Each structure stands twice: as C-alpha cells, then as structure tokens.
Amino acid sequence: MNDVTGSFEEPYEYQKLLGYNVTAWAEGKATLEMPLEAKHGNRYGLPHGGVHASLLDTAMGFAGSYTGDPNAPQLVMTLSMTVQYLSRPKGKLLIAKGWRTGGGRKTYFADAELCDETGELIAKATGTFRYRSR
C-alpha cells in the first residue's frame, strides 16, 4: 500500500498504533486501508467496534481537511459522530472511505463507509466537524 500522506505529513502516533495508511486523499474525499491484526480484536477475537469507529472518524476528518499544500495543513476536530454497525468483516483488510457532504466556513458534515476487500459493508457513519487553527 502506498501511504499518500507521506508527501503531506508524517504518520502520527495513533495512526502508527492502528496501522492504517491513507491510500487516497483529495478535495472532499479520503480512503484509508488497514490490514486486520490480532491487536485489533475484542475479547471474542473479532475486530473491536472502536477500531471501526476510529477508521470512519479518521476518513471523514481527512475528507474535510485536504488543502493540497503541505505547508498549510487544515486541522479539524470531531463535534459529533454516529456509527451504524452492520456486519463483521469477511476479509483481512478494512477499507474506510469518507466524503464531505456539506457545511460552511467553520463546520462541515461528512459520511463514511467501512468495507473489507471482499466488498462486505461493515459499518457506516455520519459526522459533524469543526475547522480549527493550530
């Protein structure tokens, strides 16, 4: 996998902990991919719902924060997020796709879907985000 964030910013600690890569990032949209590992499991050995929520949240955050200029990053913070858990993965790779759906000067709205490489839809999310300065 090619992490396209490398040309914009270094992976941050939580990204390294989970082990996902940003594989596509453009105005209003982003895609993340993460190979499933044992560390992502709950006590039943299934991927933890918090991992799903993290990927959905991050995909929506990246979708609204693209500037195209590595010297002028746009920071955002999550104001609210709702997740619908639909099924469990059949494959070994999680793919989160987020897109900006609207908003204004200070806040924006986004949706995201989490699938695996087999096409199984695992979860969906919607969120409200606030642009912020450093």
**CATH number for the domain harbouring residue 14:** 3.10.129.10
Determine the structural domain holding residue 119 and report its residue range: 4-132
Q: Which long-range contacts (CB under 8 A, 24 or more apart) does 3-9 make?
A: 7/70, 8/70, 8/73, 9/70, 9/73
pLDDT of residue 2: 47
pLDDT of residue 134: 74
* Number of independent structural domains in the chain: 1
pLDDT of residue 20: 96
What is the distance between the alpha carbons of residues 99 and 28, in angstroms, rounded to a whole number?
5
pLDDT digits (tens, 9 = 90+) for 50-63: 999 999 999 999 99
Q: Which residues, other chains included, contact 6 with Cβ-Cβ below 8 Å and sequence gap of 6+?
A: none
Q: What torsion do the CA atoms of 106, 24, 17, 12 make, to the nearest 10 degrees?
A: -50
pLDDT of residue 7: 54
DSSP string, 109-126: EEEEEEEETT--EEEEEE
> What is the reported pTM?
0.92
Largest CA distance in the chain: 44
pLDDT of residue 10: 78
Q: Which residues, other chains included, contact 51 with Cβ-Cβ below 8 Å and sequence gap of 6+?
A: 18, 34, 40, 94
Tokens linked to 119: 């096409």
Intervals of the chain under pLDDT 70? 1-8
